[in-house]
A and B are shown apart, each in its own frame.
Chain A
Amino acid sequence: MAPILEVEDLKVHFDTYEGKQQVLNGIDLTVNEGETVAIVGESGCGKSVTARTIIGTLAQPPGEIVSGEVRYRGEDLLSDRAAAQRVKNEEMAMIFQDPMTHLSPVFTIGTMMADIINYRGKRSISWMRMIRDAIGRGNRLSAADRERCVEMFTKLQIPDPEGILDRYPVELSGGMRQRVLIAMALITDPDFLIADEPTTALDVTVQSQILDILAERIAEQNLSVIYVTHNLGVARKLADRIYVMYAGEIAEVATTEQLFDQPMHPYSIGLLESIPKLTEFDSEGIGGLIPNYTDPPSGCRFHPRCPAYMEGTCDVEQVPAFELGDGRYVACYLYEEGMDVETAASIADTEVEYEDEELEQFAAGQTGGTPPWEEDEP
């Protein structure tokens, strides 16, 4: 499999009152042709910034790309603006978390579809054409394009695909809007799709439907996908490989199967344990907070929260990504380059243990008992 997108050592800083926030600290990421890659992490870990930098919608300022390359089929999108423009126009598409803010409330779905079909991929459009379209509402869908839209809507299981072209976004439910947004992204037949939490705002039953049709589209249109999400369950359903991100760094890269079978990085382990499960939910969560990006912890950015923290090792230098025997990468000093999976798994099992501080405190009598503040009933 040839890589379609390679991100190398991407560093992005943000200018704020506190100073320069080092939001992305050397991201390496590869997406192969036809592969779905999920970037998973909690809020503020930089996953959306990564997606936005790739598609070129990072706000600059306050953002600043300090170093790195984003190569799409060999062309560096960060240095070659023309290539970036062309790739963005013709080969990439994006879907967003909140469809309502990305659908204009004053146009019908049909008008917006027509805009996309008529303008997308064209590098220059004559002023006359634009004025004519704007004034005369001449920007109508041709019969063939209309059919294409309807076909796409049908594939996305939108009821009444013909009628929806004449509706406004407010007339649609949340799930339908998200489907329309997906249709807009896919109608021009892109090769590469970036999805930024497209199902987060939806109910679980609707989310499940959307994920199913998205998976179907990805397979059928042979899309390469970056799927950004905070929900590991969603990533599990859709992704071939998963990048676990923490505080602007990649903590672990593994195939979906590998990751859920045996997470290696202490953060991945804690994250996976924290998810409420149908079988049991008795997790401690991960103590502490995501670090301050202006003055991030030295060495591994996770070390202040890590249960397997080794003083003098973890807090010194940025951790390189070690490749384990099964081809996955872990940025953690518990492991070594080329370590075989069984050894690594046993290290993960023995070294990484999230403790129940609260229960210990409770047992030690440091907190509570009966409330000291007893007041009389009114």
Chain B
Amino acid sequence: MSVVERYQSFKESEQANRYREEALRFAWRFRQNPMSLFGLGMILLLILIAIFAPYIAPNPAHAGWRGEPAVDFGNAWHEPSLAHPFGTDQAGRDILSRVIFGTRLSLILGLVVLTIAIGIGVPLGLIAGYVGGIPSTIIMRTTDVFLSVPPLVLALAVTVPLQPGLVTAMLAISIVWWPWYTRLVYGEVVSVREQDFVEASRGLGTGRLRIIFREILPNVTAPITVKFSLDMGYAILVGAGLGFLGLGAQPPTPEWGTMVAQGRIHLPDRWWLSTFPGLAIFLTVLAFNFLGDGLRDIFDVEVD
């Protein structure tokens, strides 16, 4: 059978019908919540902007991407105009271009941070929840210690001995973030593990790891997804916070927080320097929150 034929026969099969129906149902529930649809649209737009930044930005060279400094002092301090919709900064760089490139950094930062956080936090939560006993106590008390310090303060403490920069910032935020996932997953696992299907699996002689990853994990992915979406916004916010405090990305990197910090001294006269990167942070965080809220309704889960 050729690939096309196989595809045709699959399309007709009961299997395909099931999958289609499930997808439609999911889409319907998503549509019930216009805010989350708006969030999703915003995020898709942001992703497109991030990918095609060099083609969209009117002045890619001004972005300071990869730390390449660019100056055009002749055009410094332009107010927002048609030529420079977001205006220009003290070095004559087009702020719109910099904000567009900043999208890349923010999304990458959020993604990297949460990948690390989930990579550490989720397995630990699964183990603590399912195995119980002393491992559980050790893991959960460690998370308690991490969670007892405000996230930004802890992230600051981590960055201090290190070279300030974007990578440092990401590392610091990851270290702050994983305990949340451990705690979330732990709570979920404790309730899932009491269900009969886990015992049924034990009754088959299934090994612990298989039970944890094949039986329990699929039942905790929904809250993880929701938290992931909500946290993308917060992680970007903390990243921007570090940038603002000078401990994250360094100028001329077009990181939104760093840009807000740099423009701050020129407020309120040259308001456009800080306002536009600030708006970008605001909209991005909002979009992820909307999406997360929508997903929470769809999956019907509780996430703190």
Is B truly associated with A? yes
Residues of A with C-beta under 8 A to B28: 17
How many Å from the CB of B101 to the closest CB on chain A?
42
A308 to B6, CA, bound (A): 44
Query: Residue B29 at the A interface, CB < 8 A?
Result: yes
Contacting B at CB under 8 A, from A11-38, are: 17
Report the nearest B residue to A17, measured CB to CB: B28
A17 to B28, CA, bound (A): 7
Query: Residue B210 at the A interface, CB < 8 A?
Result: no
A103 to B25, CA, bound (A): 37
A17 to B25, CA, bound (A): 7
How many Å from the CB of A15 to the closest CB on chain B?
11
A-B interface pairs (CB < 8 A), number: 3
Residues of A with C-beta under 8 A to B25: 17
Residues of B with C-beta under 8 A to A17: 25, 28-29
Report the nearest A residue to B32, measured CB to CB: A17
B contact residues, range: under 10
Contacting A at CB under 8 A, from B15-71, are: 25, 28-29
How many Å from the CB of A61 to the closest CB on chain B?
13
Report the nearest A residue to B24, measured CB to CB: A17
A17 to B27, CA, bound (A): 11
A17 to B31, CA, bound (A): 11
How many Å from the CB of B17 to the closest CB on chain A?
15
How many Å from the CB of A20 to the closest CB on chain B?
15
Report the nearest A residue to B28, measured CB to CB: A17
A113 to B243, CA, bound (A): 62
One digit per residue, 1 when the CB lies within 8 angstroms of any chain B CB and 0 when it does not, for chain A 264-280 equals 00000000000000000
A17 to B26, CA, bound (A): 10
A21 to B25, CA, bound (A): 16
A17 to B32, CA, bound (A): 10
Report the nearest B residue to A18, measured CB to CB: B25
Residues of A with C-beta under 8 A to B29: 17
Report the nearest A residue to B29, measured CB to CB: A17
How many Å from the CB of A292 to the closest CB on chain B?
14
A17 to B29, CA, bound (A): 8
A54 to B28, CA, bound (A): 33
A296 to B210, CA, bound (A): 43
A219 to B181, CA, bound (A): 60
A62 to B128, CA, bound (A): 40
One digit per residue, 1 when the CB lies within 8 angstroms of any chain B CB and 0 when it does not, for chain A 158-200 equals 0000000000000000000000000000000000000000000
How many Å from the CB of B23 to the closest CB on chain A?
13
A17 to B23, CA, bound (A): 13
How many Å from the CB of A315 to the closest CB on chain B?
26
A17 to B22, CA, bound (A): 12
Report the nearest A residue to B25, measured CB to CB: A17
How many Å from the CB of B18 to the closest CB on chain A?
15
A152 to B86, CA, bound (A): 78
One digit per residue, 1 when the CB lies within 8 angstroms of any chain A CB and 0 when it does not, for chain B 152-192 equals 00000000000000000000000000000000000000000
How many Å from the CB of B85 to the closest CB on chain A?
43
How many Å from the CB of A347 to the closest CB on chain B?
40
A50 to B29, CA, bound (A): 28
One digit per residue, 1 when the CB lies within 8 angstroms of any chain A CB and 0 when it does not, for chain B 189-221 equals 000000000000000000000000000000000
One digit per residue, 1 when the CB lies within 8 angstroms of any chain B CB and 0 when it does not, for chain A 283-317 equals 00000000000000000000000000000000000
How many Å from the CB of A131 to the closest CB on chain B?
33
A17 to B21, CA, bound (A): 12
A349 to B25, CA, bound (A): 45
How many Å from the CB of B280 to the closest CB on chain A?
37
How many Å from the CB of B298 to the closest CB on chain A?
11
A77 to B25, CA, bound (A): 37
A289 to B25, CA, bound (A): 22
Contacting B at CB under 8 A, from A190-217, are: none
Closest 3 CB pairs of A and B: A17-B28, A17-B25, A17-B29
A-B contact pairs, 3 of them (CB 8 A): A17-B25, A17-B28, A17-B29
Q: A residues engaging B (CB < 8 A)?
A: 17
